Amino acid sequence: MHATLQEKLVDFTPWVPVVLASSVPIGQITYVIRVVDGAGIPVTIQRAWKVDPMGIVNIGSGNGAERLRVLKSALSLNNILDWHGRYHHQLMRTWVDCDFDSLDGFRDRQLQVCWRLAPSDKVARTFESELIWMYKTEFADLPIGNLKT
């Protein structure tokens, strides 16, 4: 029997709010981002085959500290310049393009991240690809932040 995506995340860090993810290591990581409600419960997302109970909105890899710094900055919507300065970030652009404001207050919910350190960028990217493939196999769909994949 094949491992599920949730089982693959066992050796990742505990989930932490993206805006508080200050302990992300400098180095290559594979990471997963999910959306949770005010109580920290994952928001279920209807996918093509079935509901994603984990609320995953992005699977990625890269230099951990830098990647999450950019994401935290993209989420800082203090003024219009912050917003327009971060429109290139795929997750945020998809968030706006798909008008998630209309989906039960999506913007008021938290984004959380977990990650796993990788010895190289190649290993991180390979593991990212495996997780994305597992997600697609399980749900016949991709998280919104991976639609460009």
Whose CA is closest to 2, among 142, 126, 148, 131?
Answer: 131
The reported pLDDT for the residue numbered 99 is 54
**pLDDT band, residue 135 (cuts 50/70/90):** very high
Tell me the average pLDDT across 62-77. Answer: 72
Among 46-50, 62-66, 90-94, 123-127, the range with the most confident prediction by mean pLDDT is: 123-127
The reported pLDDT for the residue numbered 25 is 75
Asked if residues 41 and 94 have their Cβ atoms less than 8 Å apart, the reply is no
The reported pLDDT for the residue numbered 70 is 72
Q: Which long-range contacts (CB under 8 A, 24 or more apart) does 74-77 make?
A: 75/18, 75/19, 75/111
